[in-house]
Amino acid sequence: METYQKIFEFAARYPSADNNQPFEINLISSGRFQIEHLPQRALHSLNIESYVSDIVLGCLKSYLEASAFRYGQRAHFAHFYPCSNNKVVSEFSLSSGMDMERGLSELISGLEQRYTERRPFQLKRTPPIGFEDRMKLETSLFEGNLTWKFRAEGFSTLLPSLEAAERAFWSSDNLFYELLHWIRASDREAQATQDGLPISTIGIPVHSQVFLKILKRAPKIYSMIKSLGLIAEQVRALKSAITSASMLGVAYVPPTVPFESRMAVGESFTRIWLWLSAQGWSLQPISFATQVPTLSKICDLPSDLRRFQSILNRAIADFDALFDPPKGWLPLWAFRAGPIDDLRPLPRTPRRPLLKTAG
């Protein structure tokens, strides 16, 4: 049992949107397990039709595979089911033996040393050696379900439409309150609730921590603060995050956004993330992209979100011009990445145990 515990301890570090960790593992019998999806942990505006949970399921799968490999085990999975209509989304077993085929060994040092880094970066460097091969490998592993595109220059063409999208996003009070609900106001609170996105791990400075704390206590002062230039600050941070990146990557999926593609994005994204971490690079997710296929289905949010949809379409067109995806395919994930100049260890983000304990 001790080996299993170690595997689940590593795997519990899987990245999840807002650190909501929506999965638990049940022991069925010796060496056999179930993955359970807990939708109440993943209730937020980005998770329409559980698309985001499906992406996160892919992240968990990669972590389980890499962690099993780390301890000389191999994870065998049964079918995976979409998170939207199943509680148990997969079963798997662990057995001795390693899977060398899928480049897992190269992910282990990312898993061990720094895990998924989201530090700000200032230095500009060319992508690490082997990056193109890694992207090709990830695309070929999931052929037909996704294609990864990346660019190391030309970002300035994206700035006007990204700025417009960012302004529209923050001008929706409802969405803002929902985000606030999910952002933890302090580390002490984070420890107590084990819920929501910890401020300390947000990749770009949303705005100062003090601001967030005040806002969380008195959200109605948002409109006053907005008029004082909060959105301009946010836009400035977005622009500098894009222009300071050494590269941008986008995962495109077929127009119907099948479940297999949603999972494949999470899997491949996590593998790229771990691989880049092992090279001393930081990767910051751009989760706007996860909303692209589903945003038009939000009906209980204010009408300015409909305006947001057309602005988003413009941003997609600009991304398409830069990244040249297959015709009609949609972005489902994007990241910016750059080298880390300060490798001092960061405090780790709290995680719940992954394996459900009896009672």
Residue ranges binding ligand FMN (CB under 6 A): 15-19, 52, 55-56, 59, 116, 118, 197, 201-203, 284-285, 287, 290, 349
Residue 298 or residue 346: which is nearer to ligand FMN going by CB? Answer: 346
Q: How far is the CB of 92 from ligand FMN (least distance, A)?
A: 20
Cα–Cα–Cα angle for 280, 56, 144, nearest 5°?
A: 90
**Burial bucket for residue 229 (CB in 10 Å: 0-12, 13-18, 19+):** exposed
Nearer CB in complex with ligand FMN: 15/293? 15
Nearer to ligand FMN, 94 or 261 (CB): 261
The answer to whether residues 247 and 151 touch, using CB atoms and an 8 Å cutoff, is yes
User: Alpha-carbon distance 21 to 253, whole Å?
Assistant: 24
Nearer to ligand FMN, 50 or 147 (CB): 50
Largest CA distance in the chain: 60
Residue 15 Cβ vs ligand FMN, minimum distance, rounded to whole Å: 3
Which one, 27 or 202, has the nearer CB to ligand FMN? 202
Closest to ligand FMN by CB, 135 or 190:
190
CB of 288 to ligand FMN, least distance (A): 8
DSSP labels, 195-251: -SEEGGG-SS--S-HHHHHHHHH-GGGHHHHHHTTHHHHHHHHHHHHHHT-SEEEEE
Nearer to ligand FMN, 4 or 14 (CB): 14
Closer residue to ligand FMN, CB minimum distance, 111 or 305: 111
State the nearest-atom distance from the C-beta of 200 to ligand FMN, in Å.
9
Residue from 87, 51, 134, 84 nearest 333 by CA: 51
Number of CB atoms found within 10 A of residue 43's CB: 12
Within 10 angstroms of residue 310's Cβ, the number of other Cβ atoms is 10
Question: What are residue 74's DSSP bridge partners?
Answer: 95
* 64 vs 277: CA distance, rounded Å: 17
Tell how strand 147-151 and strand 330-339 pair up: unpaired
CB of 203 to ligand FMN, least distance (A): 3
Task: Give me the least distance between CB of 96 and ligand FMN, in Å please.
Answer: 29
**Least Cβ distance, residue 116 to ligand FMN (angstroms):** 4
Number of neighbours of residue 85 by Cβ within 10 angstroms:
10
The nearest distance, CB 122 to ligand FMN, in angstroms, is: 17
Rounded CA separation 271/14 (Å): 11
Alpha-carbon distance 33 to 220, whole Å?
46
Q: Whose CB is nearest to ligand FMN?
A: 15
